[in-house]
Structure 1
Amino acid sequence: MAEDLIDDIYEASAVPERWPRLLQRISDLVDARGTILFVARQATLKYLVSPQLEAHVPTYFERGYQFRDERTRRLFDFNLAGFVTELDVFTPEEWEADPIRQEFWAPAGMGWGAATHLPMPTGETIIVHAERSTARGPYERAALDQLDQLRPHLARATLMASRLAFERASGAVDALGMMGLPAAVLDGLGRLFVANAAFDAMVPGVFLDRQTGIELADTNVDALLRRGLDAAAVDAKGAPLSIPMPARGGQPPMILHLVPVRGLARDVFSRASVVMFVTPVVIADVPTAEVIQGLFDLTPTEARVARALGRGATVAEIASGNGVAQPTVRNQIREIFAKTGVNRQADLVGLLRGMARPAGGDRPQDG
């Protein structure tokens, strides 16, 4: 076996972008169409795939096959410290009749696989699956021996990749801590993965570290956090989100920022899903309607109403100024409360006055 292939395995552990090319090299070694690397972590399943299978694998997940794949279940039950094929865990008739083989693999011209699972001490399970074309036929013993020789190197490399991902997450929150900002990294289920000391000091007064995920002590604002985390879990490419946190229990008003973790490293080996950090606010004049709209995802009209309330205008004055009825303004205020996490005009005024920069200070930056 080429030593440079083993070198590539360890190089990929430090450079996540190298994994697809490495998986294709493994495929070529055993005459497979392509190879998939899955990372199973409790309720989440992520994957990397070699280029030749990129067009096929997303459909597997879209159809929910990962939840009812008999081939995967039998792989775990067989529990061999090596690569396993269908003929190890199915009779030929069973595999021929397998629904996922018939619906997904066979129409794509595939249906002969070799797979292994690698339990990690960090709690994840790695699955490496090389899929051959139907025409090429099942794996010979010689091909499985070649894959088995790679198995310990893949186990070490994936463990190294997981550890390096943790170090990167820890470095990110430490850097924010050096700037005086409380920060934490959350996993895909919204649970605390790593945090700096400034963030730890806000638990349990502001944040609640639950087994089910991080929560805010302020239940109104926590609803906004839940929505933000749910959106980040669905779309890793989503925009950062800023959530207002009114003064509470001696804590001044703050802004909580959620930044989705992007890139190949997030997709597979890192538990990191969202970077969360807190910025303080200072008492000043009410910010512009444009800034309010950008921070809280308000409509332009809602932003103007919010700014008018912040500057002390009454409902009647706002209605008259905008040429609308007072009930219309009250409906707009209810929408503003829902989006900002407050339920009283006094809280909204305090929040908006706490968001602006002092006179003569730096210009505000969105997000």
Structure 2
Amino acid sequence: MRIPNLGETELLVPLHDGVFEQPMWHTFLARLRGVSGASGAMLVLQSGEAREPMVLSRGECADQAAVLTSDMREGRVYALAELAEDAAGDLRASRLSDGGGLEAWLAILSDGGLRAEHSSLLAALAPHLRVALKVLSSLEREKARASMSADAFARMNFGWIAIDARCRIVGLDGQAQRFLQRSGVLRRGPYDRLISSSPAADRALTRFARECSADRGVRPRAINLARDPWIDILVSPVRLPALAGDGEAVAMIYLRGDRSSSADRHEQLVDLFDLTPAEARLAWSLSQGASIAEAARLHGLTLETARYYSKRIYAKTGARGQVDLVRNILTGVLALA
């Protein structure tokens, strides 16, 4: 087995770690410049989606990034004379790709005196840099997916809050933070205690936090906080204490608050399913779990009229019954409105 020498170890660790550094590869470029004795070290990144490349450098690099092009053969180390005629100074550069649209050029620069060993150094670093580029590409793709998922959750108004055994907030996401700021049904009280505007819900939440502290195996509980607009929470124990971050969290609260009032939902149902306003009001009540008789009383309709409306609602929404209607309304695009 070959043991890496000090120079390789000094360069490879910051090369692989540079993806997570800010600015990226700052330490690697500084050490590459020092190991090679060059006056400057430069890493240029170009994504197919970006108009301008990202230039990362340490030391004196002037405007030499301009000579680095996609015409360079991947993996080959070039001298400055091969890239630009009558250019001052000296350079060794190599182009790499992650295979998915991200290109990189690694270069060292000097006033003169770059030799074959400098080309060998860049060639030896090339496979490691290619791996680092793949890691960067994967991270960027996951960030994009996470951003889209976060946007979808935000549109659905989902968020989470971590609480300790005394119902104090020990962590929350941005969506929950905004929810606490604009909603009166849940708020941050003294000493960061999570307080519900409903005394019954507040007692249930406090009691369940104590239960979660005593027994991590208790089943999750659902608690309704408001009906117009509809706001409910699911409280679940933190099964593995090691995942609780600082170790204080005993339960996670997953909350969903409807951002639209009933009147807004009625208008959206009219647009979505071509319902009449009276049908939309009845459809929304049915989707919230009301029976035909309950919805008829709520909207001042006779039972016969409500049944007639319900048949028209089912026909227009494609529902075979109330269960289907609930699914069509609450799991369709209306949830994102």
Bin for the TM-score computed over the shorter chain: 0.3 to 0.5
After TM superposition, the score normalised by the length of structure 2 is 0.40
For normalisation by structure 1, the TM-score amounts to 0.37
| Larger relative contact order (CA 8 Å, sep ≥ 6) | 1
